[in-house]
Every structure is written in structure tokens, then in C-alpha cells.
């Protein structure tokens, strides 16, 4: 049985849609659907059923989903154990750009001092790209924003820093109401395709704030 098909099935159950599972796996929904159909033929039972616009596991699908997490975790551990090479120690870490210039330098300095024989490879990318890279075992760990969904049970998460959203304005507007500034002053946005930019955009919409003008969007 192909473990990638089991991963696709587990992701469909986790997200509730073929489309979202396909997006995270970087394949088409049709490809995910075909993988599920192969599993159903191999197991001789229906695993998923439609529930409006979403899909939900059948009784058989729920039983399979309960076993998938542990099984896939064991497969990942086995792959790591088989491929480990004692003569080469390597840490593959991913990071978002802001952490690369703030949190990571001091942390890596401490790490390399404690583990001078470990080679460190760093990849800079967006939070979504780093999440997928860790999931595909291309990275050992990543410094990124927490995804806007629950993490799989095979993942571990540790909060490194929690930062509030702040309004940057001219010194003469120091005492002004932040919401009023956002409504009346030209706004420089943070890229809405990135996690921080989406958080800022969600804040504006939640508080009913429509900027008077938008000049730039920084990526």
C-alpha cells in the first residue's frame, strides 16, 4: 500500500476537502481523488462520503484515519533511521525572512557552539512553503508563523515569540487613536499573500476599518 496515498487520505480527513488537501500536497484535486479511490479498491470499502461541500470519513474511513497518524509517524521514523549516516551530521532548518534577521542568528550561534560537528543548512521561504517542506521531510524544523489550522499530530510546535500588531505613524501622530489613523491616513500594507499581511488585513476587516487611501504594499 502506497504511504503517500495514506498521507493524502489523512490530509483530506484533517481538512475536510479534497481541494485543500491537494493545495497542501501541491497536486490537483483529481490526483488526490484517484489516490483515495486506489485505497478504497485495495481495502474493499468506501472511505469518504460527501457532506455538502465537504467530505467526511465513513465508519471504515474513521478507523483508517485513527491508525494513519501512528503508522505514518513510524514510516517517517524508519526512513530517518535507515538514511542516517553517523559520519555526517546535518540540520536542515527553514525560516521566514523576519526571523532570519532577528531570532535565528543568536539561536544558531548557541547551537553551533554546543554542536560544532553539526552542519547547518538554512532555507528562507514563506511560512506556507516551510510548513510543506517540513511535512515532506525536506526540512528538520522551521521558524515560521503558526498555520491558520490545527497542526497534524506528527508535528511539534513551540512558541518562540508572540508579537502584537502595531501601527507605525509619524511622531506628531503619537497621541492619535490608532484606528482613526488607519481610517484617515494613507496606508502602507504588508504583503497580504504572507501570514503577517493576512493577519493585518483580518484585523482591519474585523474592526470595520477601511483605509482612506493605500499607497504601497510591501513584500
* CATH value at residue 76: 1.10.10.10
Q: Tell me the CA distances in angstroms from 52 to 4, 108, 178, one per residue in order.
A: 26, 48, 42
Full residue range of the structural domain in which residue 135 is found: 90-143
pLDDT at residue 52 in the model: 67
Is residue 204 a part of any domain in this protein?
yes
Q: Binning pLDDT at 50, 70 and 90, where does residue 143 land?
A: very high
Q: How far is CA 122 from the centre of its chain?
A: 17
Q: Are residues 51 and 103 in the same domain?
A: no
Mean pLDDT of 18-32: 86
Model's pTM, two decimal places? 0.52
Count of domains in the chain?
3
Q: Are residues 79 and 105 in the same domain?
A: no
Res 53 pLDDT > 80: no
Pairing outcome for strands 48-51 and 54-57: antiparallel
More confident residue, 84 or 75: 75
Q: Are residues 110 and 76 in the same domain?
A: no
Is residue 154 a part of any domain in this protein?
no
Is residue 151 a part of any domain in this protein?
no
pLDDT at residue 87 in the model: 47
Mean pLDDT of 153-170: 84
Res 11 pLDDT > 90: no
Res 63 pLDDT > 90: no
Mean pLDDT of 143-149: 86
Is residue 138 a part of any domain in this protein?
yes
Is residue 157 a part of any domain in this protein?
no
pLDDT at residue 92 in the model: 92
Mean pLDDT of 83-94: 71
Specify the long-range contacts of residues 26-29, CB closer than 8 Å, at least 24 apart: 26/132
Amino acid at each position: 500500500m502506497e504511504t503517500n496515498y495514506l498521507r493524502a487520505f489523512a490530509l483530506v480527513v484533517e481538512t475536510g476537502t479534497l481541494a485543500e488537501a491537494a493545495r497542501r500536497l501541491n497536486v490537483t484535486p483529481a490526483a488526490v481523488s484517484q489516490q483515495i479511490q486506489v485505497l478504497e479498491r485495495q481495502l474493499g470499502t468506501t472511505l469518504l462520503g460527501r457532506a455538502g461541500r465537504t467530505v467526511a470519513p465513513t465508519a471504515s474511513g474513521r478507523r483508517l484515519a485513527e491508525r494513519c497518524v501512528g503508522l505514518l509517524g513510524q514510516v517517517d521514523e524508519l526512513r530517518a533511521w535507515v538514511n542516517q549516516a553517523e559520519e555526517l551530521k546535518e540540520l536542515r532548518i527553514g525560516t521566514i525572512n523576519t526571523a532570519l534577521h532577528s531570532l535565528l542568528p543568536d539561536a544558531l550561534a548557541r547551537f553551533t557552539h554546543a554542536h560544532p560537528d553539526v552542519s547547518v543548512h538554512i532555507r528562507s521561504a514563506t511560512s506556507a512553503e516551510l510548513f510543506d517542506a517540513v511535512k515532506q521531510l525536506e526540512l528538520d524544523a522551521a521558524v515560521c508563523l503558526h498555520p491558520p489550522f490545527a497542526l497534524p499530530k506528527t508535528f511539534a510546535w513551540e512558541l518562540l515569540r508572540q508579537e502584537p500588531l502595531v501601527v507605525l505613524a509619524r511622531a506628531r501622530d503619537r497621541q492619535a487613536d490608532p484606528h482613526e489613523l488607519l481610517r484617515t491616513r494613507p496606508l502602507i500594507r504588508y504583503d497580504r499573500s504572507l501570514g503577517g499581511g493576512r493577519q493585518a488585513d483580518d484585523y482591519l476587516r474585523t474592526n470595520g476599518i477601511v483605509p482612506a487611501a493605500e499607497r504601497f504594499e510591501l513584500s
